[in-house]
Amino acid sequence: MTERIPSETGPSEFGTFAARGLVATLLNWTRKMPATWLGKRLGFLLRRIAISRLGGRPVDAESLGARFRLYPYNNVCEKRILFAPRDFDEAERNLLVSRLHPDFVFLDIGANIGGYALAVAAKAGPRARILAMEPQPDVFERLVYNIRANPFGTVKALAVAVADRDGEITLFLDPRNKGEASVKIVSADHARQVRVAARTLFGIVQDEGFGHIDAVKLDVEGAEDMILKQFFSEAPVALWPKLIIVERGEDRWSFDLLAYLAERGYAPIGGTRNNHLLELKA
């Protein structure tokens, strides 16, 4: 597990790639579009025009209360954070913010370029501990740049795939969307493979010396079941997270993960199009 100086994103100062001219105007319009069918259709059209005008360049922008260098091309996460922040799991982010306290501990598994981690850090306060785990080498570089572009000082990035064993593991990548990466095959027709370092969640928690965990978000394209089963088989109850946000993956899980979590005291407190929201009952 390493933290590297970003190369793809470059060492340039934040603001070097600020949106200007027509792109800045289109960006402003897309963020103001109403959350209606027509508003979203118009937003998508304006987004395509802006992306075409960018010509492959990144954009330095503030979103979700943080600074990001975004590449809105082959990553749905980056497109949403740039053009339509409210479409980036707004309900989930609001839930996390509602649970904040001075010593908040948040684990972001499958952190991508840091949307969740930095949105929480923006409101969490200086004593919070936020761990962002991302195994894709190029995406990790973007994550590290974004963390360093912000003054929060509460986010740590790990270049690691969270899995059910330690060692090295094959990660399957979908080049059409950098958010679609998993230790399970995500698209046999398009996926490419890369070998990455893997750790169990409990091993990572031990390494970091956490005494409690307030919330965990898992977005690992169907591998949530094996990660959590391994964790709960080893972790003491004191380390069980109070809140779990887990991507919907019923068609890819090898067992009924929701029933498994219910047996351990987790109850649903809502759900969204993308995620299940679960809380550990006292």
DSSP label at 36?
S
Residue given tokens 């003054």 in the structure block: 151
Q: What pTM was estimated for this model as a whole?
A: 0.91
User: How high is the pLDDT of residue 160?
Assistant: 95
User: How high is the pLDDT of residue 191?
Assistant: 62
Please enumerate in sequence order all residues whose Cβ is within 8 A of that of 72, keeping only pairs 6 or more positions apart, or say none.
47, 51, 54, 59, 78, 79, 82, 83
Per CATH, domain 90-280 is 3.40.50.150: yes
Domains of the chain, residue spans: 21-86, 90-280
List the chain pLDDT tens, one digit each, 282 residues: 544 333 444 568 999 999 999 999 999 999 999 999 999 999 999 999 999 999 999 999 999 999 999 999 989 999 999 999 999 999 999 999 999 999 999 999 999 999 999 999 999 999 999 999 999 999 999 999 999 999 999 999 999 999 999 999 888 877 676 666 666 665 555 567 888 999 999 999 999 999 999 999 999 988 999 999 999 999 999 999 999 999 999 999 999 999 999 999 999 999 999 999 999 997
Report the amino acid identity of residue 94: N
Contact 163, 226 (CB under 8 A): yes
Closest CA to 78 of 10, 27, 131: 27
Contact 240, 264 (CB under 8 A): yes
